[in-house]
Structure 1
């Protein structure tokens, strides 16, 4: 269970009995799930940030839920399926098993959305979860074969100022820290032709609402073209070293959030009883929950929550 102070500092309460008691008293609950090489602290630190609504009201995520829970998990050596099974076990431990009688919303970033979908669609989670909100989730896969390739490209974008927003030093420092660890983790499960994604796409209709928030690209085309005209450009070198590895994918030619294409983020099987609620926002994969860069991700998240509450 997470609490966030006025200074946006996150405090976790990890005692199972304590969490059980708070869950028992709550009626509407949010559960945050991070993506690959991430943590929930970076996501929930913004839950007290107010966002102005069209009716003039100021709302924050914290005002929409009685309790905010988090699920942090090891994902470099643990499969998505195993993490979904662990999620199920942890929820049961705190009193959120099947037909618990409360309102549980999963708010999942990136690969966390796939952990959530496997739980919902393959592990009976549709009897536990009442709403899934995914931000930047590669539902149809990712173009990057290893994590290190994506980090290299993202650093090139950030250090060359090709983002529509200027990333703070903390974001760039975090990326450099990952790069320095030389993490070469294969993203086999996120390959568009992986058995995992095929099984997920063949799942039966879970009959619960999904909301999708897709960042639609942070890269300025004009700036990119200008950089690529320079023979010594960092981006040119990155293009030669990385893009050929991903089968010449024209990543900058189609809408994306740097990590995932918009088409992949929005790719949920057709014909479901509840069509997903989809929003495209002007932010990148690192900025969905940001209060330092832009509030468009938070605004879309609040919109998704409220839209479902009104139904």
Structure 2
């Protein structure tokens, strides 16, 4: 096993985050008289799982140290082309604008130049054109109140790239889809969350008889189920089916939500909790009081069960009457009990 001089590893562990490999190697050679290269120091750090620290700046023949230092000292306020000219003039090189731009980006150098003109800094601000220049530009000058050559009057209808028609409704450039405009003229504003669609699916057939209103949910249902058609009657039928499916889904979701709730949450009555105080109270009850309390619990549970299952006392009585061995007298007694339970009355 390779052994390093005593204290060398501890020195590296204490300083590797603030010194690069080259500096560490030189320090180790000076302090411990143990010659190392930057590459050997990098291997030592990897073998002992020491990661991080500053990287060694490697200069190349294309970017020597003096050029790099010069650019870093003068990049503020100098753009890429100007810096390329400065470097080439001082060092006799032939750097291009793109090479300097790449150097700026790699080294995160911001010249501070934004390339836009600040307000009031136009190159020709305050200068008047010569008569010759004015004569050349006069024919294409924009005059106050003039309209562009492609301006159209209010009421103009055009076809968009997606095939829908739109109409200009106001100046300078306010447009609205033509079929929505027709609908609003006949029925008023389109309600929020609704869409105006074509019964036959043809955006060129703009007629109030060919338009219908649908909610976004109905629009999604019709697209998903393929309920639209080139025949208006089929589309209208599809809209009705979509409305029925949405309504049925709402009812089903409401029923599932109700069934998922605990039984006690479906009634207005508070659930009975047997805590320590209630337990002590029950222990002190006499026979009659305890019987009334138990009957109350029974009938409350019976009402909850009937409400949840849709209990029908008449149907239950009819089913019981089919049982052999139950005569008219016993059936009358059962009927009294069932009717009393269905009405929430206690029977003795």
Please report the TM-score for the alignment, with normalisation by the length of structure 2: 0.13
- Structure number with bigger Rg: 2
Greater percentage in helix: 2
- Higher strand proportion, which one? 1
